[in-house]
Structure 1
């Protein structure tokens, strides 16, 4: 049974569960579609939708992970057995992995930087949408998010970039807190209190 909490309380306690600490069940098609609708509700100057989704599920995650492991071994033939195991599980750690693909491009009115930030907002919204549906989520960008040689394998088109891989599943362990920055270290105040 899901427990309803306020948005403020959610944000005060939001944490990611590492992808390797997720398992089944994962969301079904209808839940994923609802999450993607929610994730799409982000600031988007010019209504460009400069991002799209690729959803990896089922046995295809195994095939893609195997191919990614082969690519990793070609690039680094001295990989340890432990790292080979890691490479072979890249997209199988959670039941569902969603690539948020940035389609940012030059535009006469909307700077590319704003389009890239919109894709980042989609990633964060997708994390929150998964959590709102009762699932754990984790935003990862690993080597294959930046290696364009992996893009054809992953379904990423020329000119696109990966903003993140959002892993979604059921937590197998409770979330743990981590240190957060102190406001005094990250805030600059300008002007007087209103």
Structure 2
């Protein structure tokens, strides 16, 4: 049996094999590729829709999308506190909208959370990161604006901008 396999492999090794050598570029920056891929929506990838309730630690209630108005006074299970989180881009960009109202959670030029019927693409693309261990029932959502206005409270160069219903604040976890 061993001789049969040995003979088979030796005959395969005699076949001519065409190989191409690809030279790797030395100064490739993967961050540039990721940035280019995240600029536009990805219509090729499969869209993910998940239903969440976002809890505000400052108010002790859930975030509600009440049309154009956003509040942090929702009770657990409230129909306006049911939020759909849509993902379909390469770089983890998400869109959050109220399930009941179909208004998107956006941030205006002053940094205040507002609800909009259309997507928040006018320079305010939100990048959200979820933290928490799988299965622990806790997910923290941090909204960051990509818009750079020159003021500290809107700049994405700050490590974290946390929204405490009223005004955005710099902070750390």
TM-score range for the pair, normalised by the shorter chain length? under 0.3
TM-score, normalised relative to structure 2: 0.24
TM-score, normalised relative to structure 1: 0.22
Query: Greater relative contact order: 1 or 2 (C-alpha under 8 angstroms, separation 6 or more)?
Result: 1
Specify the structure having the higher radius of gyration (Cα): 2
